[in-house]
Each structure stands twice: as C-alpha cells, then as structure tokens.
Structure 1
Amino acid sequence: MNKTVLRSGMLAGAAALALVTAAPASAHVGVDAPDAAKGGWSTLSFRVPTESDTASTTALTVTFPEGTDFEYVATRTKPGWTVSKVDGTSVTWTAEKGNGIAPGEFDVFDLRVGPLPTDVDTLELPATQTYSDGTSVAWDQPTPENGEEPDRPAPVVTLADASEDGHGAHGADAAEGDDEVAESEDSGGVDGWLVGGIAVLALAVGALATALVRRGPRS
C-alpha cells in the first residue's frame, strides 16, 4: 500500500513538473498553418499571449523572411485593431484606444498569404510584441539544430512538399470518381428499365397463353 502511494505521488510530482516546465513555452508568440505546402496558399494564425502581469499587448509586427515576396497578403478583419502593411516586408496590427490583450489573455491574428516558397522546408517569421508600458519583446531567435528552444523563439511554419499536400490531386480524383458513379448510375438505370420492361412483357405473354389454353378451342 505504501509503495502504491509513493509511486502515485512520484507520478503526480513528475506531471506537475512537466506542466511547470512547459508553461513558459506555451506563452511564446507562435504560428499555426496546418495547410502550408510549398508553392501553395495558407492562412497563418499567430497566437499572441500577454506575458506581462501589469501591461497589455498593444501591437504586433510580423516580418517576412528576406527574399520571400508573397504575391498576395491579406489580413482578417479584426475589430478594435488597425493594420498597416509594408509590401513584401511586414504587417503590423495596432490596438485602437481602449483595446489590447490584457494580462493573462491571448488573441489570434490571421494572415492569408501565397504562394509559399518552393525552395525551403521552413518559413521563419520573426514577430515583435509591444506592450502598453512602452516595452517590447522580439520573438526572433532561430531554433538551433539540436532542437533546444531559445528564450525568444521566432514563429516557424513547416512547409509540406507540394506532392504531399494533395489538394489538387484529391479534387481531380473526386471529380473523376463522381463522373464514374454518375455514368454507372445512368447505365444501370437504362439497363434496369430494359430488363424490367422485358420481364413485364414476358409475364403478360405467359398469362395470355395460359388463358387461351384454359379456354380451349371454340365450338
């Protein structure tokens, strides 16, 4: 019994330690782009938590990597925030008076961009977070090859290979499949009508023959 309690306590302590060590990482500015593929279009969703205990987040600037020139950049309408874009360079969201992300809260900022680069596997998008007390945090540190997260990691998007994305191929396959199903249904409908008609006609002929035999020749 004591061993069981001790083991349970150790597991609970390990879980608590994992949560404590994971908490700071979850508070970083990050980006989600599950549909990102080389040469494709994607919605980049930046998660922005306010780490300060006393100040609100009042601005966010996302900088595009040098050499990356998107043909299309659009921001999702966000009440309470104004947007300024520098073509091919950066996008900045600024909170209007009385707005912002309060301590202990987070918000999401969306960008629709494309086409994505075809010659890289990841897209690093440095971000600068500005607070109401005038301070700012630059989330611009690259993650080293050993995978150890730096203090202020830059948001990173991983790009799938174009062939792995498969949206176009799936669409073509689906359309072809629909055509085949429709063709099969049409063919089946015609064949079924013919078979049904022949069967009805055969029954009618059989019934007529039976009736004539039963009646016999007229005297």
Structure 2
Amino acid sequence: MKTFVLRSALLSGAAVALAILPSAPASAHVGVDAPDATKGGWSTLSFRVPTESDTASTTELTVAFPEGVDFEYVATRTKPGWTVTKADGESVTWTAEKGYAIAPGEFDVFDLRVGPLPTDADTLEFPATQTYSDGTTVAWDQPTPESGEEPERPAPVVTLGEASEDGHGAHGADSDDTSSEAADADSSSGGVDGWLVAGVAVLALALGALGASLIRRRPRNR
C-alpha cells in the first residue's frame, strides 16, 4: 500500500514539474535573429534553418538582401562543411559538402555580418530559399502583413532599433559579438534552469507531504 502511494506521489510531482516547463514553438521555419540591429549600425544576422521534411535533408540556403539596400560590408562566419558564394551584393548562398547537410528533425544556424544598416527603415526582409536533397525548394519570401498574421512561408525579418545618442548603433567590422552572444546564451540557459529548479522544488514538496502523511498513519506501539 505504501509503495503504491509513494509511486502515485512521484508520478503526480513529475507531472506538475513537466506542466510548468516552457513548451516548444508550434511551428518551425527559416527565421533570423539580430538583437544588435540598429539604424545606421552594424549587425550579426543569425539565420535559423530547420529541416521540416521527414525524408530529405537541407543541402543549400540562399539569403537575398532587402530590395534597395546596398550594404558596404558583408562577411560570413566560417562554417566547416559548407561552401559560401556571394552574388554581387545581392545574396549569399551556403551549400553543404558531403556529410554536412541538415538532416530531418535537425536545424543549423548561418551567420552574416553586415553594415551599415539603413537609417530610413524600421524593418528589413531577407527572402530565403531552402533546397532539399530530393531537389525540392522552399521559398521563404512572403511578407508579413500589418495585421501581424503570419503567412505560410514568411520571409525572415529584422527589426531595427533606434541609434544611440552618438548617432551610431553597434558598428564596425571588428566589433566583438562574443560577449553579447554569450549573454544571450546565459540568459536562455538561465530561463530553462529556473523552470527546472521550480519543477524539482514542486516534486520535493510533494514527497515531503507524502512522508509526513505516512508518519501520521504509522500505528503507535501499545
């Protein structure tokens, strides 16, 4: 009887702990992160590329630059297993070498350093084309309407923040992104760790309550 009660308490505590953990995003598509993007500044653009196919791998990604925007500086981060082709300031293409394609159920990140960013725009769209090993291509190029309702194949969008008081954002080809990236990683990790600690605390409380209940039920010696 005690074993059954203990097992039930453990399962209930685990269920509560899992219930308070954050859930995974409901959809996956090619997107971009650029937390340091400001008007007139420089930014590292990180394109997230998930493989949504169940049978084919992602072998190529092409990112087109926003229409009417001519960046003075474009650099790609070194990425083993992928070759890079730049098309005259219009686009960048990453092509996987043998054994480096993104398998089904996996994702990868491709980084660009660009600048300066325009000062007369609030957002920038970077249409992307994803190519699979079976020859299928997916164009992520649909604009998101002002209503905010996401289309089926949205183009990656970068939102530009306002420039700092000196008129510049984070800029320069030699700017070190390591500290900001590390801070973002620590922040993300800290959020997940916080949820895990909360779940363990809930489980510990459930076990404590069970122990107290069993002690109260133990027959006294006469």
Query: Which letter maps to 1:149?
Result: E
Structure ID, larger Rg: 1
Cα distance in 2, alignment partners of residues 167 and 71 from structure 1 = 16
Aligned twin of 2:157: 156
- RMSD of equivalent CA atoms: 2.5
With the length of structure 1 as denominator, give the TM-score of the two structures.
0.65
Shift in Å, 1:168: 7.1
Q: Secondary structure at the match of 1:23?
A: coil
Give 1:19 deviation, angstroms.
5.5
Contact 2:77 2:111 in 1 (8 A): yes
Instruction: Note if 1:91 corresponds to 2:78.
Output: no
Would the alpha carbon gap of residues 165 and 51 (structure 1) be closer, same or farther in structure 2, given more than 3 Å must change? farther
Q: 1:139 is aligned with what amino acid? A: W
1:161-180 matches, within 5 Å, as: 161-163=162-164
Considering fraction of residues, name the structure with more helix.
Answer: 1
In structure 2, distance between residues paired with 1:49 and 1:87 = 27
Q: How does 1:95-174 map to 2 (within 5 A)?
A: 95-163=96-164
Quote the residue 1:55 is aligned against: 56
SS in 1 for 2:26: helix
Decide whether aligned partners of structure 1 residues 34 and 53 sit closer, same or farther in structure 2, where only a CA change above 3 A counts. same
Note if contact 2:41-2:169 (Cα within 8 Å) is conserved in structure 1. no
Distance in structure 2 (CA, Å) of the matches to 1:57 and 1:138:
13
Following the alignment from structure 1 to structure 2, what is the Cα–Cα distance between the partners of residues 167 and 39? Answer: 6
Q: Distance in 2 between matches of 1:68 and 1:19?
A: 37
Preserved contact between residue 40 and residue 168 of structure 2 (Cα < 8 Å): no
2:37–2:169 Cα contact (<8 Å) kept: no
User: Identity of paired residues, percent?
Assistant: 85
Instruction: Tell me if structure 1 keeps the 8 A contact 2:142–2:153.
Output: yes
Deviation at 1:166, TM superposition (A): 7.9
Deviates more, 1:92-101 or 1:76-85: 92-101
Tell me how far apart the structure 1 counterparts of residues 66 and 116 of structure 2 sit (CA, whole Å): 14
| Amino acid across the alignment from 2:26 | A
Tell me the number of residue pairs that the alignment of Structure 1 and Structure 2 aligns: 153
Deviation track 1:145-188 (CA, whole Å, cap 9, x = no partner) reads 1100100110000001113798779xxxxxxxxxxxxxxxxxxx
Runs (5+) with no aligned partner, structure 1:
1-11, 170-219
The residue type paired with residue 23 of structure 1 is A
Structure 1 residue 23 corresponds to structure 2 residue 20? no
Per the TM alignment, residue 23 of structure 1 is displaced from its structure 2 partner at its CA by: 1.8
Specify whether residues 77 and 65 from structure 1 end up closer, same or farther in structure 2 by C-alpha distance, changes over 3 A only: same
